[in-house]
């Protein structure tokens, strides 16, 4: 039964109020504007009533009290009427109905959890299971979105949510699990029989003792068992490789190590039995990637009653209910670039650029073609295009370094790995890049420690190095090392004329011409390069504004403004290497700014990435 069919059978709900489907966040996302306008209207009415009341009080006297009370009663009635219609929320829902919403939301979540409950019984590392569950579990926002979409389509009908069974709605998105029976795991035994003999020399009376040792080997098959090797959905597939480990030690290759199993004695002989065995499980060293067919996913939605023309709206319903869901992996519009990400281009040589068609091909299969240039920057960092395993993907497949000798195979495996950590990271590019280098285990660690940062990456690297007995683990500065080959471009500023005394877009366009150019201490122009103040003074100088000097001088040439009043075109300052303004950039809005920094050169960066430096605030250029 489609969502549309279910909606037709819905009946009027007790209390006459229409129930919403998702969380309160879903209602906020759609109704925020209406509620805000209502708030302003109520505030205006209050002020108007008070003003009228004062006038009346001065003219009429005690009768004003009665009139004001009457007006307040009217205001109370207005407040009780929902400003927006039922879909926008308003005051239409009672506390009981809101509690019912939360209960219904939990039913969606439980239905989603039930689809992957089987995975928790898999013999594998717990963090691996967590990653796989998160990857293949259908978002609870999908059935919630189907119901909300049906409510929107049938907005003139009152519905009862009991008519919508979360288990039925999520059935089309439920994964199935395939297993392979493993019957070649083997027990190996080493039996060491040591017999001690004594012999007395009849002439001398001396007793001689010696021990003869005999070693034999036997084998037996271990009990067969099933190992998960594939997870499939109607719109995607995840291949899971089996991995045979050798014990004792759990190594990937047989060793000469044995564990003692038993000892027995008979007369002058002692038999000691040692054991080795191999055991096959899933390869839980790396989280496998899910290959998603975005078109197949949308076909399922269409079959369930979602119009193809409404697909973008439906995806918004899902992400509003479940912000962790990434529409880009399911054929959705990824142009918003989650995580304050900015599209850009890679500054790479032709030896890397020649792989662009292959990179784009495999990213398109993942619905992630917008990251083509970023992957080229990754290739530049990994090998510079000089090795056949150009994305250094061998180890992600459990192979020794540089085993792969086909660049396309390397790209395919590398993109699978990138897509996997991208989804686990919720679309956070910096977290994705660092996890590409460290492995998927870094994602949960970073989230537990406040998100990705250089400090968190370094702590993780040190922890893993110590755990494995290595001198170092991965590259904790991997994000910066990739980003030096990637330039954010095509940034447009939406700012009304007159907000600044200069054309902000014009200044940004001037600076953007040099994106990717390395930082040069004391650099003031294109031929020599730029430092932070040099970029500012050069760009503003071209439009006739004198901001010459270093960051401290530019600080003194501008005036402070409150953060709440900051607009694109304002300057931002930090203390870095001294107790004075020593770094400057131009604010672009939404937490972004353009600057020339020592690690990324001329680049568009995020204020949050500079949180370890003392922020000196926003300042404005004035006449």
CA 584 and chain centroid, separation: 30
Among 42-51, 443-452, 567-576, whose mean pLDDT is lowest? 42-51
Q: pLDDT band at 439, cuts 50/70/90?
A: very high
**Is the residue at 360 inside a domain?**
yes
**Is the residue at 315 inside a domain?**
no
- Structural domain for 32, as ranges: 3-173
Last residue of a domain, one of 464, 483, 502: 483
CA distance 290 to 315: 19
pLDDT for 283 beyond 80: yes
Last residue of a domain, one of 422, 454, 483: 483
Instruction: Indicate if 567 and 595 belong to the same structural domain.
Output: yes
**Is the residue at 302 inside a domain?**
no
User: Which residues are registered as beta bridge partners of 603?
Assistant: 595
**Is the residue at 8 inside a domain?**
yes
**Is the residue at 502 inside a domain?**
yes
Identify the active-site residue in 416, 417, 532, 550. 532
Q: Among 418, 335, 338, which Cα is nearest to 382's?
A: 418
Among 353-367, 406-420, 568-582, whose mean pLDDT is lowest? 353-367
**What's the whole-number mean pLDDT along residues 579-583?**
92
Average pLDDT, the chain: 80
| Most confident residue range from 61-65, 133-137, 425-429, 538-542 | 538-542
Element (H, E) at 588: strand 583-589
Which residue has better confidence, 58 or 522? 522
Which residues have CB under 8 Å from 138's CB, separation 6+?
112, 115, 170, 173, 174, 175, 233
Which residues have CB under 8 Å from 396's CB, separation 6+?
286, 413, 414, 416, 417
pLDDT of residue 402: 86
CA distance 454 to 476: 7
| DSSP letter (8 states) at residue 84 | S
195 tagged catalytic: no
Instruction: Indicate if 505 and 536 belong to the same structural domain.
Output: yes
Q: pLDDT band at 507, cuts 50/70/90?
A: very high
pLDDT for 66 beyond 70: no
**What's the whole-number mean pLDDT along residues 497-510?**
86
Last residue of a domain, one of 483, 511, 544: 483
Instruction: Indicate if 162 and 204 belong to the same structural domain.
Output: no
Q: pLDDT band at 182, cuts 50/70/90?
A: very high
Q: What would the pLDDT profile of 582-600 be if each residue is shown by its tens digit?
A: 999 999 988 889 999 876 7
**Is the residue at 233 inside a domain?**
no
Q: Among 209, 339, 283, which Cα is nearest to 606's?
A: 339
Among 14-23, 164-173, 189-198, 446-455, whose mean pLDDT is lowest? 14-23
Task: Note whether 404 and 393 are within 8 A (CB).
Answer: yes
Q: How far is CA 284 from CA 239, 381, 392, in A?
A: 12, 26, 19
Identify the active-site residue in 416, 437, 550, 595. 595
**Residue 97, Cβ density class (10 Å: 0-12 exposed, 13-18 middle, ≥19 buried):** middle
pLDDT of residue 123: 94
- The number of domains in the chain is 4
595 tagged catalytic: yes
Radius of gyration of the chain (CA): 33
Instruction: Indicate if 448 and 499 belong to the same structural domain.
Output: no
Instruction: Indicate if 457 and 345 belong to the same structural domain.
Output: yes
Instruction: Indicate if 49 and 107 belong to the same structural domain.
Output: yes
Task: Note whether 485 and 380 are within 8 A (CB).
Answer: yes
Instruction: Indicate if 110 and 89 belong to the same structural domain.
Output: yes
**What's the whole-number mean pLDDT along residues 560-584?**
93
pLDDT more than 70, % of the chain:
77
pLDDT for 110 beyond 70: yes
Instruction: Indicate if 527 and 472 belong to the same structural domain.
Output: no
Q: What would the pLDDT profile of 115-144 be if each residue is shown by its tens digit?
A: 999 999 999 988 788 878 888 899 888 988
Terminal Cα-to-Cα distance of the chain (whole angstroms): 67
**Is the residue at 455 inside a domain?**
yes
User: Which residues are registered as beta bridge partners of 220?
Assistant: 187
Q: Among 374, 289, 378, which Cα is nearest to 334's?
A: 374
pLDDT of residue 68: 62
Residue 266, classed as helix, strand or coil, is strand
pLDDT for 566 beyond 80: yes
Residue 188, classed as helix, strand or coil, is strand
Instruction: Indicate if 194 and 164 belong to the same structural domain.
Output: no
Instruction: Indicate if 467 and 509 belong to the same structural domain.
Output: no
Residue 391, classed as helix, strand or coil, is coil
Which residues have CB under 8 Å from 449's CB, separation 6+?
456, 459
Q: What would the pLDDT profile of 231-250 be if each residue is shown by its tens digit?
A: 999 988 888 989 999 999 98
CA distance 547 to 534: 9
532 tagged catalytic: yes
Number of CB atoms found within 10 A of residue 569's CB: 22
| DSSP letter (8 states) at residue 252 | S
**What's the whole-number mean pLDDT along residues 291-315?**
84
**Is the residue at 39 inside a domain?**
yes
Instruction: Indicate if 93 and 136 belong to the same structural domain.
Output: yes
178 phi and psi, to 5 degrees?
A: -115, 140
Residue 275, classed as helix, strand or coil, is strand
pLDDT of residue 562: 94
pLDDT of residue 311: 84
Instruction: Indicate if 564 and 603 belong to the same structural domain.
Output: yes
């Amino acid at each position: 039964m489609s969502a549309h069919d279910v909606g037709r059978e819905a009946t009027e709900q007790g209390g006459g109020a229409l129930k919403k489907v998702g969380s309160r966040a879903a209602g906020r996302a759609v109704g925020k504007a209406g509620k805000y306008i209502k708030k302003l209207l109520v505030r205006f009415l209050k002020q108007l009533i008070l003003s009228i009341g004062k006038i009346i009080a001065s003219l009429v006297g005690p009768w004003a009290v009665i009139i004001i009370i009457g007006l307040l009663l009217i205001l109370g009635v207005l407040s009780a009427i929902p400003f927006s219609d039922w879909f926008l929320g308003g005051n239409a829902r009672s506390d009981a109905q809101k509690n019912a919403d939360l209960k219904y939301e939990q039913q969606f979540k439980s239905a989603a959890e039930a689809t992957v409950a089987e995975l928790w019984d898999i013999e594998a590392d717990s963090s691996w299971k967590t990653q796989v569950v998160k990857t293949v579990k259908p978002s609870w926002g999908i059935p919630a979105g189907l119901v909300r979409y049906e409510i929107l389509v049938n907005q003139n009908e009152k519905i009862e949510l009991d008519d919508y069974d979360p288990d039925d709605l999520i059935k089309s998105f439920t994964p199935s699990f395939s297993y392979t029976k493993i019957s070649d795991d083997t027990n190996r035994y080493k039996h060491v029989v040591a017999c001690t003999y004594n012999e007395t020399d009849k002439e001398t009376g001396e007793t001689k003792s010696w021990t003869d040792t005999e070693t034999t080997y036997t084998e037996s098959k271990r009990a067969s068992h099933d190992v998960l090797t594939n997870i499939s959905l109607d719109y995607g597939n995840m291949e899971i490789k089996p991995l045979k480990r050798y014990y004792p030690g759990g190594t990937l290759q047989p060793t000469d190590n044995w564990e003692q199993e038993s000892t027995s004695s008979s007369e002058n002989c002692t038999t000691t039995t040692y054991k080795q065995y191999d055991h096959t499980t899933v390869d839980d060293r790396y989280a496998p990637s899910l290959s998603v067919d975005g078109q197949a996913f949308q076909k399922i939605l269409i079959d369930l009653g979602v119009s193809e023309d409404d697909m973008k709206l439906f995806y918004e319903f899902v992400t509003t209910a479940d912000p962790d869901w990434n529409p880009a992996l399911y054929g959705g519009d990824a142009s918003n670039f989650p995580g304050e990400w900015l599209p850009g281009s890679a500054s790479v040589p032709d030896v890397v650029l020649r792989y662009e068609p292959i990179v784009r091909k495999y990213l398109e299969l993942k619905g992630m073609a917008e990251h083509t240039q970023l992957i080229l920057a990754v290739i530049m960092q990994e090998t510079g295009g000089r090795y056949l395993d150009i994305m250094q993907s061998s180890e992600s497949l459990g192979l020794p370094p540089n085993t792969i000798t086909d660049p396309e195979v390397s790209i395919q495996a590398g993109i699978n790995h990138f897509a996997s950590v991208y989804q686990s990271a919720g679309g956070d590019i910096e977290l994705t890049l660092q996890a590409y280098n460290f492995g998927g285990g870094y994602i949960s660690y970073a989230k537990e420690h406040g998100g990705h940062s250089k400090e968190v990456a370094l702590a993780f690297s040190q922890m893993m190095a110590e755990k494995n007995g290595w001198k170092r683990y991965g590259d904790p500065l991997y994000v910066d090392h990739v980003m030096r080959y990637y330039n954010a471009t095509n940034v447009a500023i939406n700012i009304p004329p007159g907000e600044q005394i200069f054309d902000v877009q014009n200044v940004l366009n001037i600076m953007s011409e040099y994106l990717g150019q390395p930082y040069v201490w004391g650099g003031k122009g294109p031929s020599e390069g730029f430092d932070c103040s040099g970029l500012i003074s050069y760009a503003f100088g071209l439009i006739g504004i004198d901001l010459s000097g270093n960051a401290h001088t530019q600080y003194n040439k501008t005036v402070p403004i409150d953060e709440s009043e900051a607009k694109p075109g304002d300057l931002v300052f930090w203390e870095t290497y001294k107790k004075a303004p020593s770094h400057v950039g131009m604010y672009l809005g939404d937490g972004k700014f353009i600057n020339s920094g020592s690690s990324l050169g001329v680049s568009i960066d995020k204020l949050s990435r500079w949180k370890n430096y003392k922020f000196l605030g926003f300042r404005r250029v004035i006449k």
